[in-house]
């Protein structure tokens, strides 16, 4: 479909009427809500406040499957500061949604509705993490090498890749941690997944990068074999976009109808 002057004028009008700087990456509240696997430990020996053996449990029954989408789908007309650490990955291509060239990026698809959460209530048979140990999360398998994950920190301008391959791992302090998942903008529609192992590590958490630690100490941490680990699978959908021609005709039709009404 050839772009006529009318079409180009329409695109410029719609982009300029909505374009705005957004200072944070859209999160679960923008994407439909949090989807949380609840992690806990059941002690089989030792007190619940400091168990010496036990089992890691994961309670997880998601009612929906998160969709990976672009910034323009989450926040139409939004673009990031040129200095934002995530701008190169998540920023829209030059001109899309009114994005200035200095603020443009690859337009990756993303979602962070999933978030790990640890529950520790000794009076309800949920044990603490053993003293001198920590929780760890390891990438067990992934459906596509293009499915990447990032630890995000808005105030710290942090956008660090984690789980950069099968068997890569982080130490986790047990607080609610929503890591971002991304796929390239050109990813075909379909279903994608990543499976993680959550286990007790022999290494204490000493991270300074938020709720996850991914330095050399974390990457080489070993399992405390007195505790059985648990597995959880995250599933995602990528929905193919309608052709640009159909979207354009639909949008132009809606605009013309509004003008006639007024």
Residue 242: what pLDDT? 60
Note the pLDDT tens digit of each residue in 37-61.
Answer: 999 999 999 999 999 999 999 999 9
Residue 191 has pLDDT above 50, yes or no: yes
For residues 21-36, average pLDDT: 96
| Stretch (H or E) spanning 122 | none
Residue 111: what pLDDT? 98
Residue 19: what pLDDT? 75
Residue 97 has pLDDT above 60, yes or no: yes
For residues 186-203, average pLDDT: 98
As a whole number, the mean pLDDT across the chain is 89
Residues in contact with 181: Cβ distance below 8 Å, sequence separation at least 6, in sequence order: 68, 110, 111, 112, 114, 147, 148, 149, 150, 194, 234, 236
Residue 124: what pLDDT? 74
For residues 216-221, average pLDDT: 97
Task: For Cα atoms 242, 243, 246, give the angle at the middle one, nearest 5 degrees.
Answer: 90
Residue 14: what pLDDT? 44
Note the pLDDT tens digit of each residue in 98-131.
Answer: 999 999 999 999 999 999 999 998 877 899 999 9
Residues in contact with 168: Cβ distance below 8 Å, sequence separation at least 6, in sequence order: 138, 139, 162, 219
Residue 240: what pLDDT? 85
Residue 75 has pLDDT above 50, yes or no: yes
Note the pLDDT tens digit of each residue in 242-253.
Answer: 644 344 444 444
Burial 180-206 (b: 16+ CB within 10 A, else e): bbbbeeebeeeebebbbbbbbbebbbe
Ramachandran angles phi, psi of 256, nearest 5°: -65, -40
**Rounded CA gap, 176 and 68, in Å?**
21
Residue 134: what pLDDT? 98
Q: What is this structure's pTM?
A: 0.85
**Rounded CA gap, 249 and 145, in Å?**
36
Residue 158: what pLDDT? 98
**Rounded CA gap, 103 and 82, in Å?**
5
């Amino acid at each position: 479909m050839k772009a006529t002057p009318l079409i180009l004028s329409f695109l410029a009008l719609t982009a300029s009427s909505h374009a705005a700087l957004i200072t944070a990456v859209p999160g679960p509240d923008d994407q439909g809500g949090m989807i949380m696997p609840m992690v806990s430990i059941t002690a089989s020996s030792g007190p619940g406040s400091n168990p010496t053996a036990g089992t890691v449990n994961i309670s997880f029954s998601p009612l929906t499957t998160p969709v990976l989408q672009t910034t323009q789908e989450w926040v139409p007309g939004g673009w990031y500061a040129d200095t934002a650490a995530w701008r190169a990955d998540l920023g829209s291509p030059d001109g899309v949604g009114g994005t200035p060239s200095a603020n443009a990026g690859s337009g990756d698809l993303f979602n962070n509705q999933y978030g790990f959460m640890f529950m520790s209530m000794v009076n309800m048979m949920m044990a603490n993490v053993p003293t001198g140990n920590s929780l760890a999360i390891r990438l067990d398998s992934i459906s596509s090498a293009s499915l990447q994950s990032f630890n995000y920190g808005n105030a710290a301008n942090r956008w660090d890749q984690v789980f950069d391959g099968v068997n890569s791992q982080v130490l986790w302090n047990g607080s609610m941690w929503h890591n971002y998942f991304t796929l390239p903008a050109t990813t075909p529609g379909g279903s994608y997944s990543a499976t993680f192992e959550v286990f007790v590590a022999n290494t204490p958490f000493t991270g300074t990068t938020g709720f996850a630690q991914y330095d050399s100490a974390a990457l080489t941490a070993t399992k405390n074999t007195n505790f059985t680990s648990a597995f959880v699978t995250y599933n995602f959908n990528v929905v193919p976009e309608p052709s640009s021609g159909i979207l354009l005709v639909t949008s132009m039709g809606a605009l013309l109808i509004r003008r006639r009404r007024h």
